A and B are shown apart, each in its own frame.
Chain A
């Protein structure tokens, strides 16, 4: 595991170098690809964190975009209102170190607020199982979106401009690495095997002294924390956020990434997140060529059609996802728990 820490450190250093020397160049010369790059980074964070809940712990949360929204708006509001003051305190807006520090603070606030929301939503709802939890979390996501739509100081339906624009390659992929490290570190410890026992058999887990509700809540809170940070990265990248950016379909996006990647495989989920960010773009560019008749362009540009097709294809041929284990899937699809001994 010290090796994992070494990898984390190495990747962070590499990212830092890339970010310091290459960021400008990529962002200016290849703006389109830069956009895809950052978006895939944010999607990796979302998918890997959701995988802790939906994959490793075997719950079904459909509200990840809700936590992302909490983070995005929290970070946006915080930065809009407090950054000028904070920056003037520690060295001005032109100082890169100062602006990065301010961003860390803003992300921290976003993550924390999302985590608290996760705790508040999780404690009552994680007593529910399966479909019920899915419905409650779906409802939660909609409540957040509708609440923002009706809160004037958050811009309501007009959206919120976010000042700062701090998001860069270092933070996006650094957080993605940190998120993967956290999830893997947790899951591979004796402590973290508890998450998997909750997925496999709750009755047996409780009989082995494992407080399954506590594990579910922890998974939920950790996932919400990273979703919040992903929201902050998104807000500072787009510089303009609307409630529609965090609707139900955003949650579905992330769930699809987790399912295609293979529930409970961090590597698979990372790959799926990147692939599913790039694929719609590829199809879009395909629709601009003459290969495809114009009548079908709409089909290619609609990512939901792509997702459905991929899901059907995967469920038929590889139900365990890109990297997931077949056993976990069979168990989930198998008999519901029966409380006899």
Chain B
């Protein structure tokens, strides 16, 4: 009952390839769950099926106890699921500020007519949005890039901007697809602190895909492991670390998962 997101026996096939197979997963309110697995395990596919980019072959996705199957991505976002992309997908012709502002569109009260007539309430709303945008940018230390074209940001900053943009849609659940990819260890750990912080501050749940084991183990209290589309383990970090299946999937043998795995 009190789970926010529920995946019930989700399967998705691309031709002969079963990318995700009979996956069950629950995420409760305020939880930070890690989703790990080797390359091609199906992590991004899970994101795509939750956000409506791909349609399920079978199974069902429920969010706040409502079925999401068959809904359009923008409807799903409006229900409260936001995501970032593994291969950064910012709005490349827009500034940093506008990237975030555009994502505020979802909860806009004004439409075409107000944009043209510029009523008082429209101006007030635009100011509120500007304020909200700047606040979000400040949290991630991006406020000085306000008018910078997003393409000229550093890789790490682009990833951070994607999180800001996702937050601007006021999500209840945030899906982060390898948010720390390409960052150095210092940046990584500060990003993870940040994720921990926003999760509490905005009272949201987070599903985190990340390759760096140390990072995931450090902040997630529950971890789900995929391999070839199958869930092979789920539990708290210390249990996952010892799980022989996980160790085998990751290292292909009886080796121990080291504290760092880039």
Contacts and interface: CB of A to CB of B under 8 A. Distances in A.
B17 to A, nearest CB: 14
Interface stretch (B107-115, B137-145, B188-196, B245-253): B107-115
A191 B105 contact: yes
Nearest to B115: A189
A29 interface: no
Interface of B: 44, 47-48, 51, 53-54, 72-74, 77-78, 82-83, 85-87, 89-94, 98, 101-106, 108, 110-112, 114-116, 118, 122-123, 125-126, 129, 149, 151, 165-166, 168-169, 177
B105 to A, nearest CB: 5
A190 B87 contact: no
Interface stretch (A132-140, A143-151, A156-164, A196-204): A196-204
Contacts of B114: 191
B112 A197 contact: no
Contact of A190 (B44, B78, B104): B104
A327 interface: yes
Given A204-B85, A207-B77, A341-B85, A186 B93 contact: no
Nearest to B78: A209
Most buried by B among A192, A209, A218, A330: A209
29 contacts: A5-B118, A189-B126, A190-B104, A191-B110, A193-B98, A193-B101, A194-B105, A196-B93, A197-B102, A200-B94, A201-B92, A203-B53, A204-B85, A206-B72, A206-B77, A207-B53, A207-B82, A208-B165, A208-B166, A208-B168, A208-B169, A210-B74, A211-B72, A218-B112, A340-B48, A341-B48, A341-B83, A341-B86, A341-B177
Interface string A323-341: 0010110110000001111
B87 A340 contact: yes
B93 A327 contact: yes
Nearest to A204: B89
A194 B44 CA distance: 25
Given A186-B116, A196-B94, 13 more contacts: A190-B104, A193-B101, A194-B102, A194-B105, A200-B90, A205-B91, A206-B74, A207-B77, A207-B83, A208-B105, A212-B74, A264-B93, A340-B48
